[in-house]
Amino acid sequence: MRIKILSSVIVLAAMIYSCSKEYSIEGRDNTVINPPLGQNCKVNNIIAADSLTGAGNYSLFTDFDLAGLATRIVAYDSVNQQLDASANLTYKGDTIFITASDYFVTDANKRVVRFFTLADPGDPNSDTLIYNYVYNAGGYLSEKIITIPSILGTVVNFNYTWSNGNLVKVEGNTNVTGVNQKLLTATMTYDINKTAKNFIQVMPDNFESFFFVMAVDIGKKSTNVVSTISMITYDEFGVADQSYNTVLKNLVFSPDGYLTEWYAEGDSFDALGLFSGRTLFQYKCY
């Protein structure tokens, strides 16, 4: 029962974290031009780029309206000429709809408090996974709880540890029929001398909202720029299975403090929109 229920979570995590292929948008050269961007800018395009030429291989794009609301997401693998994801976001009250069965519910602060999605997107009769997001008094994500309506109680929970305004540890555990088992542990370190204006939320367990990393608000973001990410995932028996380690370096900033580029050395963490090698960040300003 446990393996069947959690297979979509575990398999998705394994797929995302083991992926290290190159992606892109054609036609970008290696010229670095970083003028000041403006006072009110947000990341709207994350591009996995060729480390030597700067040509893009993959684009994770979000479009925003004049009010700053995300209206559309597109993920395109131009190496394989494949559209990985495309969706229009619509708003009704406190709900952001992707499809009739996939949607985010927000609180009065516009933060996501629940995410509903099918365990098997190809099967409309499959279980619904409900992600519940809990914030602490400071506005940081403190816990993420996954439930399934047909099962009483929590099936997976993630706990977040923050220090000096930075996310430093994530622990994920399965909890079915009273059995608590590790799913993943991750630790992160930061360059306390570097901050990035209005950057993306960097969370190692972001596999459920990977395509929406720029579109939704999941609490306050880390104050400083992440330097290293280390993670261990566990198999269905709670035994350490895979380890991943990434170092972020070669950071490039605009004169007014927006992070426009970095290089990820080591393993790929595609769940963050964080690809191995060179990544470019583009912004939409108002």
pLDDT confidence of residue 268: 64
pLDDT band, residue 137 (cuts 50/70/90): very high
pLDDT band, residue 81 (cuts 50/70/90): confident
pLDDT confidence of residue 15: 35
104 burial level (CB within 10 Å; 0-12, 13-18, 19+): buried
Q: In this predicted model, what pLDDT tens digit does every residue of 7-60 receive, in sequence order? A: 444 433 433 333 333 433 333 344 445 666 778 899 999 999 887 777 778 899
Token readout for 265 is 């050395």
Token readout for 30 is 């290696």
Q: Which residue has the higher pLDDT, 32 or 216?
A: 216
Which residues are within 8 A (CB) of 164 and not within 5 positions of it... i.e. 6 or more apart? 192, 223
95 is in which domain, residue-wise? 2-285
3 sits in which H/E element: helix 2-18
d(CA 238, CA 16): 19
Q: What is the CATH number of the domain that holds 137?
A: 2.40.160.150
d(CA 210, CA 30): 27
Q: In this predicted model, what pLDDT tens digit does every residue of 177-206 receive, in sequence order? A: 677 899 999 999 999 999 999 999 999 888
Asked whether the predicted pLDDT for residue 238 surpasses 90, the reply is: no
What average pLDDT does the segment 123-133 reach?
A: 92
Task: Indicate the number of domains in the chain.
Answer: 1
